[in-house]
Structure 1
Amino acid sequence: MNTNDFKIFEAVAAHGSFTKAAEATFTVQSNVTARIKSLEEEFQVSLFNRTSRRVELTAAGETLMHYCKQIGQLIEEAKRELSGTEQLIGHLKIGCIETTMALKVPELMKRFNQDYPDIELEFKSAMSPDLIQDVMNYKLDAAFITTPVTLPDLEQKLIKKEQLVIVCSDQYAGLNEIVNDHQLSIIVFEQGCVYRSRLESWLSYQGIINYKSTVVNSLEGIINFVEAGLAITILPLELIEQYYPNRKLKTFSIGKELGNATTLMIYRKSRKQDRVLKAFTEIY
């Protein structure tokens, strides 16, 4: 057993596949299989549940992952100690919903890179439920989500509160025209998006049940559809004001209950002492 075995183990957990783990670690699948078998024999436990579609951590695998993260942290600390520098070195995988990717990631990376130039950041965009699952499964170190969590293994930190608004083409004169549109269409992200659920709730409150839904997993695509007058959507007001002020769009407030939203950062409580992750979580 060596530290490379742990890297292969982490790769299998991250990718949910022996084949993809082999590609990520620049080796062959037979070697990945052999190294995982060696670890399982060493610890006398099964580390993964294997199915025809996915490879997932067992309870024992999750325990080992916890220690792998600590081992990785200790190795990096040893490198710093022996090199005589206090500069943090490492790599973090961060998840974001699409709007956070557009609004916050550029500014965040600029600030973080100034203070910690030797920490590499990798970002993934997905819906909040998928991001939560990925943090729980050690595939992400932290994630920005819009859904409060009650899972005991997760720490959550309030990042910001924001106002959600109905966004439509400037062809609409007001909300009444939207409500009375008998051919109303909405443009939304896929299921699991809090903005989509808020828009569907607003339509329900208005007594609107006959409307057409189109799913586009691209923020720019949604904006283009809306500006063309093909559909309405719901997005953070800050996003529209900051990035799309000159587009042919109108926004309408929808009240506090549906219009108030929060962005949260989540990470595993067991990772609190990870200095690299701690540096990231404290940037806000």
Structure 2
Amino acid sequence: MNTNDLKIFEAVAAHGSFTRAAEAMFTVQSNVTARIKNLEEEFGTALFKRSSRKVALTNAGETLMHYSKQIDHLIQEAKEDIEKSNQVNGQLKIGCIETTMAFKVPDMLSCFTKAYPNVDLEFKSEMRLDLISDVMNYKLDAAFVSAPINTPGLDQLHIKDEQLAIFAAANAPELKMLLADQPVKIIVFDQGCVFRARLESWLNSKGIIQYKSIVLNSVDGIINFVEAGLGISILPAELIAQYYNGRKLKSFSLNKELGTMSTVLIFRKNVPQSRALKAFVEMYRKP
């Protein structure tokens, strides 16, 4: 087995076809078939389930894919370290939720690029569970997500605690009257958003299980809809105070359990880190 065998293996899994994998790898189908056969003989098990229409990974294939991605990652890190062993360079892919993307990323980018100008930073905004999955599967080097994190294979670094609050239009009545007006209207991100989950948990604690959701995909959109009186939402109080202080909004505090959100930086555990990732993590490590 060599690394090219694993690249062919990954290509077959990605394309679901020996023929398309051969085209992607600029080789012939017979070579792809032979390489996969050799791998299956070496591991003593089938790596793909074959049908007339496509091929798919077996359980053993899924396991090998996990290790193959780790090998790819380690080889890439080795190349970068050897090429410029005296510099912090390369590329970092960092994930975060929408509010972090919109309001914290510019500051992160400014501080880090000043200190490490040879590192290219790429940020990606996704829901919390997607971010965790992408870090585990080597699609992201690290991600900012809400705690708690209990995923085996991930390390975490506490970044900060934020206070959340309920927000409504400035001319809205008191919260008790808002909740009495059924169905309660909420302005939220899509399923998987930590703020939406907190708001729904809070409503459930008030005995409200029926509510009307208006789903948007940006902080600005949510603020505009809340200000227009179309519903209530939950967001970090600091975010509103810092960036939307002039907007016509009214806030309502939450109890400590629901109102405190801890943000952590997650990255893979027991995997050699690139110099760039080490530098990024150290920037947030408390002295």
Matched, 1:76 2:71: no
Q: How many corresponding residue pairs?
A: 270
The 1:273–1:240 alpha-carbon spacing in structure 2 relative to 1, beyond 3 Å, is same
**How far does the alpha carbon of each residue in 1:140-189 deviate from its partner, in whole angstroms, 9 at most, with x for none?**
11111114221221111111100010011101143223222234200111
Return the alpha-carbon distance in structure 1 between the equivalents of residues 139 and 48 of structure 2: 14
Matched, 1:160 2:164: no
Q: Secondary structure at the match of 2:270?
A: helix
Matched, 1:31 2:26: yes
Return the alpha-carbon distance in structure 2 between the equivalents of residues 7 and 92 of structure 1: 22
Aligned to 1:61: 65
Structure 1 segments of 4 or more deviating over 4 A? 1-10, 32-57
How far residue 241 of structure 1 moved from its aligned partner, in angstroms, is 0.9
Aligned to 1:172: 172
Q: Secondary structure at the match of 2:77?
A: helix
Aligned to 2:145: 145
Amino acid at match of 1:196: R
Return the alpha-carbon distance in structure 2 between the equivalents of residues 48 and 112 of structure 1: 43
Return the alpha-carbon distance in structure 1 between the equivalents of residues 203 and 55 of structure 2: 38
The 1:241–1:29 alpha-carbon spacing in structure 2 relative to 1, beyond 3 Å, is same
How far residue 130 of structure 1 moved from its aligned partner, in angstroms, is 1.0
Contact 1:146 1:261 in 2 (8 A): yes
Contact 1:145 1:263 in 2 (8 A): yes
The 1:139–1:199 alpha-carbon spacing in structure 2 relative to 1, beyond 3 Å, is same
Larger Rg: 2
The 1:29–1:68 alpha-carbon spacing in structure 2 relative to 1, beyond 3 Å, is closer
Unaligned runs of 5+ in 1: 20-26
Contact 2:9 2:36 in 1 (8 A): no
The 1:30–1:3 alpha-carbon spacing in structure 2 relative to 1, beyond 3 Å, is closer
Aligned to 2:219: 219
The 1:121–1:228 alpha-carbon spacing in structure 2 relative to 1, beyond 3 Å, is same
How far residue 78 of structure 1 moved from its aligned partner, in angstroms, is 1.5
Q: Secondary structure at the match of 2:201?
A: helix
Q: Secondary structure at the match of 1:31?
A: coil
Contact 2:73 2:138 in 1 (8 A): no
How far residue 55 of structure 1 moved from its aligned partner, in angstroms, is 7.7
Contact 1:128 1:147 in 2 (8 A): no
Aligned to 1:92: 92
Q: Secondary structure at the match of 2:26?
A: helix
Return the alpha-carbon distance in structure 2 between the equivalents of residues 187 and 164 of structure 1: 15
Contact 1:186 1:211 in 2 (8 A): yes
Aligned to 1:109: 109
Return the alpha-carbon distance in structure 2 between the equivalents of residues 167 and 49 of structure 1: 52
The 1:9–1:79 alpha-carbon spacing in structure 2 relative to 1, beyond 3 Å, is farther
How far residue 109 of structure 1 moved from its aligned partner, in angstroms, is 0.6
Contact 2:186 2:211 in 1 (8 A): yes
Contact 1:272 1:278 in 2 (8 A): no
Q: Secondary structure at the match of 1:270?
A: coil
The 1:47–1:235 alpha-carbon spacing in structure 2 relative to 1, beyond 3 Å, is farther
Contact 1:161 1:262 in 2 (8 A): yes
